[in-house]
């Protein structure tokens, strides 16, 4: 057999290939280049923080020098990416390469006098934990969260639109007390909003306390400085939270909390995807044809629910990765090991699959139409769901002294369990009941379409 020729360089992950358009915004923060840009930002801002406090015999930099320094990360681009790749090939150390980049640019800016303050008293994890806190915070708040909010907003919109659309419920897959489609969609919106509040309350923690979290080198160089306060003020000035008590690494507990919450949201979204798939299968929703799209390679009539299937699969991948992150990051041997290094490089992959799922859910929810006629026909085939209402009313009548029926549940069980009951048959049964006339009239007025309780009000909020 002839061996095929090698392909030109190709992305191995579909997130960087087929699905690049949907996931590209995350790369600004959670790619290797995004991480390096944040590392440069931390190194530069630490230089400015030290000189602003006139530490170690320095003086505050002029405002224009600060702006030129900040240009190192604000204008970070391909030139810096290539420079770092070349330097890291020699250093075999990513953070050291960043330090050398900053030193090199200080020389170019004529700021050699503060070059030795670059990476001053820092361990790599001071820079990394801060850079990860910044990039994850920005990725979640600027990219992932808005995508989740769009899905919630679409769900809420559909919940309002279909608040009054009665439908047969299916508990255990069997016909059950009717609801409305709007109320069922509102349940998902409410669940997601609750989890989102927890995500919004998340901390993004960084350490900045040296080789083993003791500020030892800091005190050796400047014993009179209040280094814990300086470090806290520096980290908080970046808009993130400070962890004062660590080993060499920041403990990553905040990441475990965050990823578990995002995974929880993903579980709810997965439930939404499978329910929407099922509603489409039942004919409750029809899919709006997209011009030029092929549903099946052999069956022209089909419109496959690919948005929800794609979302389902990507949420499962995301959950697996987020679970692995949570499990691995919570542990580090003694004062540190490097298991977290490779693990954290996959944060973007985990969030990327989640983001792709959110994109598919948003699109999918916008490409369906409710088939109210199907919902009504289904209800009309299942009058036996009124058995719950009838036996509950009989019980109330017994309590009120208006009925002598001894076991209302058994009575309705005998009538309805295991077979269909049509409207006229049920009306005849109600007419023969030993209950008060007012209660009887209420039951005779009920239909499966009207037996929805407060569903419409719940959907409208």
Active site residues: 172, 296
- Listed in sequence order, the residues at least 6 apart from 191 whose beta carbon sits closer than 8 Å to its beta carbon are 268
- Listed in sequence order, the residues at least 6 apart from 333 whose beta carbon sits closer than 8 Å to its beta carbon are none
d(C-alpha 346, C-alpha 126), whole Å: 20
Residue 285, beta-bridge partner list: 370
Q: DSSP of 187-222, one letter per residue?
A: HHHHHHHHHHHHHHT---EE--S-TTSS-HHHHHH-
What crossing angle do the helices spanning 306-329 and 253-282 adopt, rounded to 10°?
Answer: 160
Rg (CA), the chain: 31
Q: Are 32 and 88 in contact (CB under 8 A)?
A: no
Q: Are 340 and 328 in contact (CB under 8 A)?
A: yes
d(C-alpha 72, C-alpha 74), whole Å: 6
Cα dihedral sign for 153, 155, 159, 165?
positive
Coil, helix or strand at residue 295: coil
């Amino acid at each position: 057999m002839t061996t095929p020729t090698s392909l030109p360089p190709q992305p191995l992950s579909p997130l960087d290939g087929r699905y690049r358009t949907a996931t590209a915004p995350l790369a600004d923060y959670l790619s290797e280049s995004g991480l390096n840009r944040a590392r440069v930002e931390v190194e530069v801002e630490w230089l400015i923080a030290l000189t602003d406090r006139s530490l170690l015999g320095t003086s505050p930099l002029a405002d224009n020098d600060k702006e030129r320094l900040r240009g190192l990360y604000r204008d970070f681009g391909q030139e810096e990416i290539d420079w770092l790749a070349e330097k890291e090939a020699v250093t075999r150390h990513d953070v050291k390469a960043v330090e050398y980049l900053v030193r090199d640019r200080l020389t170019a800016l004529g700021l050699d006098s503060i070059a030795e303050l670059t990476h001053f008293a820092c361990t790599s994890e001071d820079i990394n934990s801060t850079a990860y806190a910044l990039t994850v915070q920005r990725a979640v708040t600027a990219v992932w969260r808005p995508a989740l909010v769009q899905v919630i907003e679409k769900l809420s919109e559909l919940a309002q639109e279909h608040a009054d659309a009665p439908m047969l419920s299916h508990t255990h897959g069997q016909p059950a007390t009717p609801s409305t489609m709007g109320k069922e969609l509102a349940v998902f919106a409410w669940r997601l909003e609750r989890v989102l509040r927890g995500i919004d309350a998340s901390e993004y923690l960084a350490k900045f306390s040296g080789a083993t979290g003791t500020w030892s080198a800091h005190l050796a160089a400047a014993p009179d400085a209040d280094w814990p306060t300086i470090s806290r003020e520096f980290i908080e000035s970046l808009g993130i939270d400070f962890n004062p008590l660590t080993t060499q690494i920041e403990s990553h507990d905040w990441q475990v909390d965050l990823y578990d919450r995002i995974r929880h949201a993903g579980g709810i979204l997965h439930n939404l995807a499978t329910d929407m798939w099922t509603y489409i299968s039942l004919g409750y929703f029809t899919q709006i044809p997209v011009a030029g799209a092929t549903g099946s390679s052999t069956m022209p009539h089909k419109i496959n629910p690919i948005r929800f299937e794609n979302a389902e699969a990507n949420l499962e991948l995301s959950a697996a990765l987020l679970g692995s992150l949570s499990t691995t990051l919570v542990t580090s041997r003694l004062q540190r090991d490097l298991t977290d290094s490779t693990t954290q490089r996959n944060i973007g992959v985990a969030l990327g699959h989640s983001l792709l799922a959110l994109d598919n859910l948003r699109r999918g929810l916008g490409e369906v139409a409710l088939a109210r006629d199907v919902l009504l026909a289904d209800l009309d085939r299942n009058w036996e769901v009124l058995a719950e209402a009838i036996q509950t009313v009989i019980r109330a009548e017994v309590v009120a002294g208006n009925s002598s029926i001894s076991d209302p549940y058994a009575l309705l069980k005998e009538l309805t369990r295991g077979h269909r009951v049509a409207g006229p048959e049920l009306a005849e049964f109600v007419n023969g009941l030993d209950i008060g006339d007012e209660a009887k009239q209420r039951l005779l007025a009920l239909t499966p379409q009207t037996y929805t309780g407060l569903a419409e009000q719940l959907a409208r909020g």
